[in-house]
Structure 1
Amino acid sequence: MTDSDRSALYQTPLYSLHEQARMVPFAGWQMPVQFSGITQEHRAVRDRVGMFDISHMGKFVLTGQRILEHLQRLVPSNLRGLQPGQAQYTVLLNAAGGILDDLIIYNQGSTETEGDRVFLIVNAATTASDRQWLLEHLDANQVTLTDQSQGTVLIAVQGPEAIATVQRYTETDLSTVGRYEHVTTSMFGASAFVARTGYTGEDGVEIMLDAQPGQTLWRSLLEAGVEPCGLGARDTLRLEAAMALYGQDVDAATTPLEAGLSWLVQLDQAGDFIGRSPLEEQKRHGVPRRLVGLRLTGRNIARTGYEVMHDGHVVGHVTSGTLSPTLGYPIALAYVPPSFAKPGQPLTVNIRGRHCEATVVKRPFYKRSPSS
């Protein structure tokens, strides 16, 4: 990459603190792919605690009147019961029921000055298109969108020791913040948004701060011995937890029913929304393909785009694959017809001309123990 190419990429407010990281371009940003090494970072999150600079994620603040009612028309999940302090993972859909993006909606309640306040975190690669979609479909007379995607820090602290580690920096009792709940508190004399969410399959929080206190938090966590982690470990961790990566495992040509996200589609509660009719059709007649988990034999790693075979015929394609650092064997996600989606189904994956044995398994591949 040339210097001019690098200068065209955005830098997070933590960029100057990543001297030890190997940097790569990702979704228009310069991002750390690894610090000490992917396996070491992965294991730190599974065993102790690690942290990620995810400041590149899209961050929208919606203020105004009846915001959840407006958003309800854009997602298949029921938002009517989403209380202040709670969050909802869901998807934006196009008219064909395809996934434009997956996102988290945080209800921050109401104030006399702003009215309702809702915070959205979306994927970095779709920030601009999501913003345009929202502006086109929300009533500008009732809802104001503020884009905070640049200039703010977002740090994910993940692992069994995450809550105890972050607790040192705030007087708010984080143990009272449940899974998919959030709170606005204070850290280093500044306002901090703390959500008990993450993308690793472990317990943890995601923290949003302005640039200066965000840099202070990152330095403080480093001094406390928290392992800095890059995109590489983030990918292996989320894949073990069978969490979809937008643009790879799900996209605008994929419906949530095909992607194993049927729990987000609440047709009996969500009312009318964009993409409802195609999803109703798939509910009635079945989906043409399903996203499944695969366990491969030996050290055979299935990469994105590899063919999934049965009796010598191509029946699907791999979307994500890796050698699981936690489990010690190769895992993958792939789309196959429903007739091949049952756990225990034997398949093969074409890996550079070799047909390597694979078996459909239940997802997630890894699930943390309730006590951890």
Structure 2
Amino acid sequence: MKNTALTHIHESLGAKMVPFAGYHMPVQYEGINAEHETVRSGVGVFDVSHMGEFLIEGEHALELIQRITSNDASKLQVEDAQYSCMPNDTGGIVDDLIVYRVKEETYLLVVNASNIDKDWDWISKHNSNKAEMKNISDNYSLLAIQGPKAVDAMQSLTSVDLSQIPFYKFKVADFAGIDHVIISATGYTGSGGFEIYCKNSEVEQVWNKVFEAGAAYGIKPIGLAARDTLRLEMGYCLYGNDIDDTTSPIEAGLGWITKFTKDFVNSKALLQQKEEGVSRRLRAFELETKGIPRQGYDIVDEAGNKIGIVTSGTMSPSLKKGIGMGYVNSSHTKFGSQIYIQIRNKALPAVVVKLPFYKG
């Protein structure tokens, strides 16, 4: 198991540590609901340094990114970020990722921790024109400073006006006494804030200064468990749960990041799916009675016939009800449809709803 550069700090704070994607990671500090509420109403900090970072550079960088990703990276200006996915050859997804255009011919790809080696091999396999590739995952740390108070709490740490960085834009600037830090207006919570990329050797200083600056705003460290409830309330996909090597971006509701204005891996088959329709779709649902849906639970119709499977589920700390997502046969994907979640020996009624669950 690997440690992040901040593992010793998490342990000193009394975090419950668990193995996650090959790392020792803090799953919670004071408790999921309290940490969730801190991010929804204040400001909290996640150490997500387990994420992978690849640099793709040179005159063939964009060409390679266009071939492997579903979104249109040619639209990116310097200081733009873009959510995308990498389709595989068989209709599934290798990974979802964020693409940053750092310089004219320099792109940063941020990938899921559990997929770092798989992604690297996949991108390398398609790098026929020899774009320059560097895996810098082991050298960089990532802090997600999330919540509605993040801008005010962090402003004293940088000369950049944080309120002027739009969603999915970033700056390379000074932060917490370190030069050349990526300050990105991205995140996985739906409550605003920033993601800060810096070197492992710098992150402890950044962490300490972030907590000094945020003290007056009630800043707290947040674990992976609350990260999961926060992202689920927004309906953000989690790789390995809601999307994987067997789920297509069209089935997963990721048509908005699948641009058929260019050729990319498996684009013809995915276009056919878009035009002809798919037999199942990822849908959100709310339970209409007490209960907690969990990954792997069957989704059934009124007669008890299996019509799908839950991919993510929890008791929503904000809504105080059971919520989830799952793949459902297309006959039951209409919003407002009645479905049932098989929890142990009971089929609990649920309704198909539009995302996000949490409206803010």
Query: Does the 8 A contact of 1:97 with 1:276 survive in 2?
Result: no
Equivalent residue for 1:105?
Answer: 99
- 2:20 counterpart residue number: 26
The SS at the match of 1:132 is helix
C-alpha displacement at 1:190, in angstroms?
3.1
- 1:213 is paired with a residue of what secondary structure? helix
- TM-superposed CA distance for 1:63, in Å, is 1.6
Q: TM-score, normalised by structure 1?
A: 0.92
Partner of 1:49: 43
Instruction: Give, in whole Å, the separation in 2 of the partners of 1:214 and 1:182.
Output: 18
- Structure 1 CA distance for aligned equivalents of residues 94 and 208 of structure 2: 35
Task: Point out where structure 2 has 5 or more consecutive residues left out of the alignment.
Answer: none
* Alpha-carbon separation, structure 2, partners of 1:211 and 1:73: 31
Aligned amino acid, residue 307 of structure 2 = V
Please state how far the C-alpha of 1:140 moved relative to its aligned partner.
Answer: 5.8
Instruction: Determine helix, strand or coil for the equivalent of 2:138.
Output: coil
CA distance in 2, matches of 1:159, 1:89: 20
For residues 222-233 of structure 1, the aligned pairs below 5 Å read 222-223=211-212, 224-225=214-215, 226-233=219-226
Q: Read off the aligned partner of 1:33 and give its amino acid letter.
A: V
| Post-superposition CA distance 1:111-146 (Å, at most 9, x none) | xxxxx11011000000111011111112463x2111
CA contact (8 A) 1:97 1:274 kept: no
| Paired AA for residue 60 in structure 1 | F
Shift of 1:173: 1.4
Kindly tell me: are residues 254 and 260 of structure 1, through their superposed partners in 2, closer, same or farther at Cα, counting changes over 3 Å? same
For the 8 Å contact 1:61–1:145, the answer to whether it is kept is yes
1:162 counterpart residue number = 150
1:321 paired to 2:313:
yes
The 5 A counterparts of 1:56-205 are 56-110=50-104, 116-139=105-128, 141=130, 143-187=131-175, 188-205=177-194
Higher helix share: 2
1:276 maps to amino acid: S
**Kept after mapping to 2: 8 A contact 1:182/1:195:** yes
In the TM superposition, residue 307 of structure 1 has moved relative to its aligned partner by 0.5
Q: Return the letter of the residue paired with 1:154.
A: L
Q: Deviations over 1:272-311 (max 9, x none)?
A: 1111121122122211100011100333001001000102
Cα offsets for 1:210-259 (capped at 9, x unmatched): 12331112122333331100110000000000000001100011111100
How much has 1:23 moved relative to structure 2? 0.2
1:355 deviates by 0.9
Q: Which runs of 5+ in 1 are unaligned?
A: 1-8, 111-115
Matched letter for residue 306 of structure 1: Y
Pair 1:139–1:168, CA change in 2 (3 A): farther
Q: Which residue identity lines up with residue 8 of structure 2 in the other structure?
A: S
* Deviations, residues 152-194 of structure 1 (Å, cap 9, x unaligned): 2100000001122222211111222111001100121332111
Indicate the residue corresponding to 1:113 in structure 2.
Answer: none
Cα separation, 2, equivalents of 1:344 and 1:297: 12
Letter of the 1:343 counterpart: F
Structure-1 residue corresponding to 2:296: 305
Give 1:69 shift.
2.1
- Correspondence for 2:325: 333
Instruction: Say which of 238, 261, 285 aligns to 1:245.
Output: 238
Q: 1:74 to 1:189 in 2, by over 3 A?
A: closer
Letter in 2 for 1:291: L
Aligned twin of 2:209: 220
Identify the residue that residue 198 of structure 2 maps to in structure 1: 209
Taking every aligned residue pair, what percent have the same amino acid on both sides? 41
Q: Which residue of 2 aligns with 1:284?
A: 275
